[in-house]
Structure 1
Amino acid sequence: MTDTDSTTHFGFRQVPEGEKARLVRSVFDSVAGKYDLMNDLMSLGIHRIWKRIALQLSHVRYGEQVLDLAGGTGDMTALFRERVGDRGGVVLSDINAEMLTRGRDRLIDEGVTSGVAFAQIDAEKLPFPDNTFDCVCIAFGLRNVTHKEEALKSMRRVLKPGGRVIVLEFSEVQGALLKKTYDLYSFKLLPLMGRLVAKDEDSYRYLAESIRMHPNQETLKQMMQGAGFERCEYFNLTHGVVAIHRGYKL
């Protein structure tokens, strides 16, 4: 198989590698308008707690520089901006222009008008110099990246020595009974919610499928180590529904 006919997964489907980014972009173009509402509905608001735990585990301090990858509508950026203060800075980035626009507009509406920059970028090819950021965070975005290893290497490159990466992502649920319940929710209720609220059943079916195709906790930890991160560890939240992975550039 050559590079031109290599395939990757888009949910449970196999698609040409070059097509995945476009397909993911179309998903988020479709759901951008209801993204925040659906996050609250899908998680019963618990995603806000997960994100605050990720903030705490990032050890971001006043005056530091943070890159929020796949930052979407700006939840993590707002938290980081409060933490770094006036002497620090946060870059809100996303590959999807519609999501990035909504994130920018939301932050402006909330009065966050300084200390934040915006960039439409690909996580696999970060356009920043080496050793730029104290922390790189990607929350609920890594599973949509085609070449995750390349993205992790790119994140490490732009980190300063002593910097850390935070990956907040859906992961492998722990416990047989909970797995059955979670499967029922994911493949029956979630698409129904997508159809009723966001008017897009297919995108939320893709969401459920993409979670199942994402590397589990140990596999992602090994991928981070393979990308050169050290002191890698992960923290299961809500019985492994999500996990926070952390690694350092030493």
Structure 2
Amino acid sequence: MASVCCSPPPMPCRRPRKFSSGNRRIRCTTEERQALFRRIAPVYDNLNDLLSLGQHRVWKRMAVSWSGTRKGDCVLDLCCGSGDLAFLLSEKVGIDGKVIGLDFSREQLSIAMSRQRLRTKACYKNIEWIEGNALDLPFSTGYFDAITMGYGLRNVIDKEEAMKELLRVLRPGSKASVLDINKSTRPFTALFQEWMIDNVVVPVASGYGLKEEYTYLKSSIKEYLTGKELEQLAMAAGFSNAKFYEIAGGLMGNLVATH
């Protein structure tokens, strides 16, 4: 059954956070990451297809399925990028539902809007794109029936705060589905990931002039959390249940957290 959250347009529930001088380092890092994704944006989709041999589309469908999204729902795709998950969600919620795609990269959102204009299905018209901060979501408490987040949590500065924001804007009983590269605890899988990044990902990205941007990938995985740590993070944020699933032979992972 459709949630009442789909009736009004999303309205900011609080003012954007202002950074004090004590947060200057964090602000700079955020701006650097925005610049990185701005440079990647024009070739992001092509590289995803090439580097995953198209398998990222399967993983994203799995993430949407795990979110529990149903017809008529009002849902959020956080760190939406060029919109893959948002388009899949719109097919799930149908013409009576609502999808919000939020990202901090204006360039990625521009590509998402361009892709939306080229699609003819009526359900795709239910997507709204918003430039925003995953640590300070401009939505009221309990606004969404489900949330997806694809390849975004790993790149957020404060993962604890991001998880708390996911919980805040979710309706009680609903789920957040978080897809990302898996930080494996298995030595062979971890070594294979590193080999793939050094010998496949970075060389291919170099062909697009993005060697530096994709070299960052290895450090971002090292700084990320294991599946067990992600479950603990979700529970500490206040979710009632959290389960991490390894997929793609342990190279990818999906956290399913229930409010």
Q: TM-score, normalised by structure 2?
A: 0.87
1:227 has 2:245 as partner: no
Tell me the distance in 1 between the aligned counterparts of 2:165 and 2:223. Answer: 22
Structure (1/2) with the larger strand percentage: 1
Shift of 1:247: 1.0
SS at match of 2:125: coil
Confirm or deny: 8 A CA contact 2:189 2:250 kept in the other structure. no
Confirm or deny: 8 A CA contact 2:153 2:178 kept in the other structure. yes
Confirm or deny: 8 A CA contact 2:99 2:127 kept in the other structure. yes
1:218 alignment counterpart: 228
Alignment of 1:81-230 (within 5 A): 81-111=90-120, 113-173=124-184, 175-196=186-207, 198-230=208-240
Tell me the distance in 2 between the aligned counterparts of 1:234 and 1:124. Answer: 22
2:88 alignment counterpart: 79
Q: Which runs of 5+ in 1 are unaligned?
A: 8-15
2:9 alignment counterpart: none
Tell me the distance in 2 between the aligned counterparts of 1:179 and 1:41. Answer: 21
2:77 alignment counterpart: 68
2:40 alignment counterpart: 31
Confirm or deny: 8 A CA contact 1:172 1:217 kept in the other structure. yes
Output the amino acid matched with 1:234. F
Deviates more, 1:110-119 or 1:142-151: 110-119
Output the amino acid matched with 1:19. C
SS at match of 2:180: strand
Identity of aligned residues (%): 29
Confirm or deny: 8 A CA contact 1:167 1:244 kept in the other structure. yes
2:51 alignment counterpart: 42
Q: TM-score, normalised by structure 1?
A: 0.90
Q: CA RMSD in A?
A: 1.6
SS at match of 1:114: helix
Tell me the distance in 2 between the aligned counterparts of 1:91 and 1:69. Answer: 8
Confirm or deny: 8 A CA contact 2:230 2:244 kept in the other structure. no
